Structure 1
């Protein structure tokens, strides 16, 4: 459940935004149906578009910390995310997980001038759509996408409902140093911080769906369940496709990967070797990172010509004794064998 803005003010060219209600997920809103929420117009700059916006602040429930909106309603609507946790409103998952499953690519520019121009245009579109009563934005792709099945499964596995643990107080830095003297009166949690891959997170990466450690962990788990765990050999940079429909071309395969893998650019596909008689193909990537990103997307199902494709990692043949091993496994061709799913 989300709470959408009922009334917005400020023009697109004003460089600021006002709102009457925030866009929040159930977890951030909290279990208490009666909460007091403060509102401060132009109280802070949006952490994505840098425009002043209306900041809402509230306490989700007893024992929780005060929370506030971090991004403006326009940016939240563009990505269909919560203004506070910046997670997808429909599935409660990171943007990078959603975009990888649905093959969506971020269209927001990163430079200041282009970013402001883009956000202002989107704000005007949102206002026009609201005035006409039509759908504001289709930020999460077509309803028939195979990636929705993966997202539903991940949403069920992650939690059976709202995760109110995200509203707990922050850790007490004085307790970590052994200097906190407030005891039970301390409003912060007396727990030692855990340093791991999930410790370094920021809102901009989460919003744009890039370098998100939480998303990477979830996608790696999904890839493992689908039999697409990356091999230990870092020289393997190809994927093996089988059960291809008749008449498929390498151009169609290339187009699918470029269109559906959000982080993949056309030049990152080195070559495609299609074996029509066996209805299989090898997709060779220029870097291991590009191959891993493609494998993560394929874990959500790959469909070509209305037919589901089996995907596995390729692997080089064992090196023969006495041959020079330099570059032997770097390029995978039609002679490459494949790991069975």
Structure 2
């Protein structure tokens, strides 16, 4: 149980058992752990907490808890790898599929107040856990089950790469406890623990969401000037209803970031134009993970807009049949509206 402390002080946290996923714990059922009271600061709330350290198995590196017990419970993640405990996936992937909203503040003072309030809620909760509210979405859960691994990924417990080998100066040879490999530079090599916890700018999650969207025919167009998404098969609706549904399914979208919403009643569709291409891509990935968007009690399909024609050249695409727009197939849209 966390120690009682004043809300204006940082305080500490003491725990008897860590919250770990099966992969980080390792295959050994008799794993031995060392426990150090207030051994380090939590990477999220900056409070001293109980640090556990252990070896997951033969050929693996020693691992330790990186965040406190309370922060792990708030997000439902492992204290070491910060992956979701139920699916073993990044927080950003889980939140995008389930429509969860990150509510935690980032400033130090508000963060401490927020953590202590949630500690009080967990003390009153029967199971001792609390999570952010989520949208009940069967399609999102099915998507998460499809991405989740069926077996633990123990390869993740391998030793780190030897920095001396990278410099060409390792003299320990086969006795070196670290891996003798050249690191691969790229998007996945730049990971941040705080971003992974809050589900923001996680390169691993971005890659998984992008590949999932592309597998469902939602590949982002090469033309970076396209920032429009098209909702197909809408019932009779209004701009405010479309905007409310979008914010409900994508809580990270701020109203000011939406440039315009145009509804075409004859074709049962709506054009959502965003100010930034990066936001349009994130919304497309989130809605693809959730299987579309529900507006007015009806599920609508989401597709990308088309590029505008060059000057002097007529538009080559158009909506020709309103029944096609309300169906499940992809519909061509007017370049003027895109």
TM-score normalised by structure 2 residue count: 0.88
Give me the whole-angstrom Cα distance separating, in 1, the residues matched to 2:183 and 2:133.
35
Q: CA distance change for structure 1 residues 187 and 68 in 2, over 3 Å: closer, same or farther?
A: same
Match of 2:147 in 1: 154
Q: CA distance change for structure 1 residues 278 and 143 in 2, over 3 Å: closer, same or farther?
A: closer
1:115 corresponds to 2:102: no
Q: Which moved more, 1:253-262 or 1:57-66?
A: 253-262
1:182 corresponds to 2:175: no
Give me the whole-angstrom Cα distance separating, in 2, the residues matched to 1:9 and 1:205.
25
Match of 1:336 in 2: 335
RMSD: 2.0
Match of 1:317 among 290, 304, 308: 308
Contact 1:12-1:123 at 8 Å conserved across structures = no
Match of 1:46 in 2: 42
Contact 2:236-2:268 at 8 Å conserved across structures = no
Match of 1:36 in 2: 32
Q: Which moved more, 1:111-120 or 1:299-308?
A: 299-308
Contact 1:23-1:82 at 8 Å conserved across structures = yes
How much has 1:307 moved relative to structure 2? 3.0
Query: Which consecutive unaligned segments of at least 5 residues does structure 1 have?
Result: 1-7, 324-333
Q: Which moved more, 1:181-190 or 1:40-49?
A: 181-190
Give me the whole-angstrom Cα distance separating, in 1, the residues matched to 2:81 and 2:256.
34
Match of 2:4 in 1: 11
Corresponding pairs, count: 315
How much has 1:337 moved relative to structure 2? 7.1
Match of 1:81 among 63, 73, 77: 77
Contact 2:228-2:304 at 8 Å conserved across structures = yes
How much has 1:139 moved relative to structure 2? 3.9
Query: Which consecutive unaligned segments of at least 5 residues does structure 2 have?
Result: 315-332
Give me the whole-angstrom Cα distance separating, in 1, the residues matched to 2:138 and 2:247.
16
Q: Which moved more, 1:109-118 or 1:98-107?
A: 98-107
How much has 1:12 moved relative to structure 2? 5.0
Contact 2:102-2:132 at 8 Å conserved across structures = no
How much has 1:189 moved relative to structure 2? 0.9
How much has 1:308 moved relative to structure 2? 2.5
Match of 1:261 among 243, 247, 250: 250
TM-score normalised by structure 1 residue count: 0.87
Give me the whole-angstrom Cα distance separating, in 2, the residues matched to 1:173 and 1:282.
51
How much has 1:105 moved relative to structure 2? 1.8
How much has 1:258 moved relative to structure 2? 1.5
